[in-house]
Amino acid sequence: MANASALPDTLVDRFNRRVSYVRLSVTDRCDFRCVYCMSEDMTFLPRSEILSLEELAAVGQAFAELGVDKIRITGGEPLVRHNVMELFQTLGALDGLKELTLTTNGSQLDRMAEPLREAGVRRINISLDSLDAERFRQITRVGDLNKVLAGIDAACEAGFERIKINTVAMKNRNDDEILPLVDFVVDRGMDISFIEEMPLGEIDDHDRAEVYMSSDEVADLIRQRHELVPTTETTGGPSRYFRIPETGTRVGFISPHSHNFCESCNRVRVTTEGRLLLCLGQEHSVDLRQILRDKPGDMLALKQAIVASMDIKPRGHDFNLQAKPVIFRHMSVTGG
Ligand code: SAM
Ligand code: SF4
């Protein structure tokens, strides 16, 4: 029978990729309904099916003890989860974790930026697809741009080491805002990543293939005004980065379609229901919730399941915008 000493102190999969990064989805709920992420009518999971804050903390601890040094909290909108700050405080105090970070839509940041910083979050990603209030509302269906801008200001004041804006680039939706968004981050000393829309879950707003804008098209637009100097820098995520000379700004591109990043994949995800998902674009998974609930407090069993999961991490995703989505999970359940 396996014991604690038989467990490795790092996670390595069949393709010799070291897994050092976990994205934890803490809720599938959200105060926005972004058109590329959710349908207008969403049914959310019943409370009993989602991991409790204690269960989430145990999952974070198990990964940290297996050599994971970066955890990103995401969702849904993580900051709408009741008492989520307790989780940040617990995870922020974990030994071995170099980085605790967060992806948020920014709607709650005006009141939560400072406590997050105090809990040990040093870098955050804030999603922003438009600087025009009307259009922002169309894309998010309900979002208030001014509230998000106030959140970004609060984050700047709270003293995060790095703030990165995430923008999903969409043809005829926000392609005319690529340059203004770059100016916005340059003015504030922030970074920005442009994301190609991924076919996750059925949506009713648009045909994904029609609004698809490749990272190369976005980069060409930016080059009309700024030089983009390639860097080998990485933040441990899938972005490829460029620097804009004489500014502190890095521009990243997350390009699942045009530049497959699977070969260097170092991450796994845990869904809101506690499914350890080995690849964003495939269904290979392990049910951690069952272990947490069948064997409460059994850290060894949890860690054994995580170690064993490395044998089913797939080589890569198989996204195809022309086909019907094969992945029925919305990004909000998986954790973006
Ligand atoms: N609610 C938070 C937010 O919006 O930042 C965190 C969760 S959200 C699912 C994380 C990121 O995924 C956001 O930057 C969002 O723009 C992106 N996203 C959502 N659905 C997507 C899709 N179908 N393709 C590409 N990116 C998507
Ligand atoms: Fe909510 Fe984020 Fe999805 Fe927008 S992208 S609906 S803010 S979870």
Q: Which residues pair with 74 in a beta bridge?
A: 25
| Residue found under tokens 């272990």 | 291
- The Cα-based distances of 297 to 3, 8, 269 in angstroms read 15, 20, 21
Q: What is the rounded distance in angstroms from the CA atom of residue 300 to the CA atom of residue 260? A: 35
Containing structural domain, residue 156: 4-334
Contact status, residue 268 vs residue 209, Cβ threshold 8 Å: no
Buried b / exposed e over 14-44, threshold 16 CB at 10 Å, is eeebebbbbbbbbbbbbbbbbbbbbeeebee
Q: Which residues pair with 12 in a beta bridge?
A: 18
Question: How many domains is the chain partitioned into structurally?
Answer: 1
- The Cα-based distances of 251 to 86, 189, 192, 317 in angstroms read 32, 12, 5, 24
Pick 324 or 253 by higher pLDDT. 253
Question: Domain of 25: which CATH number?
Answer: 3.20.20.70
- Any idea which of 70-79, 107-116, 227-236, 256-265 has the lowest mean pLDDT? 256-265
Pocket test for ligand 2, best of 104, 272, 331 (most atoms within 8 A of CB): 331
What pLDDT band is residue 1 in, cutting at 50, 70 and 90? very low
- Rounded mean pLDDT, 117-123: 96
Pocket test for ligand 1, best of 79, 163, 168, 207 (most atoms within 8 A of CB): 168
Binding pocket residue ranges, ligand 2, CB within 6 Å: 30, 32-34, 37-38, 75-77, 105, 127, 331-332
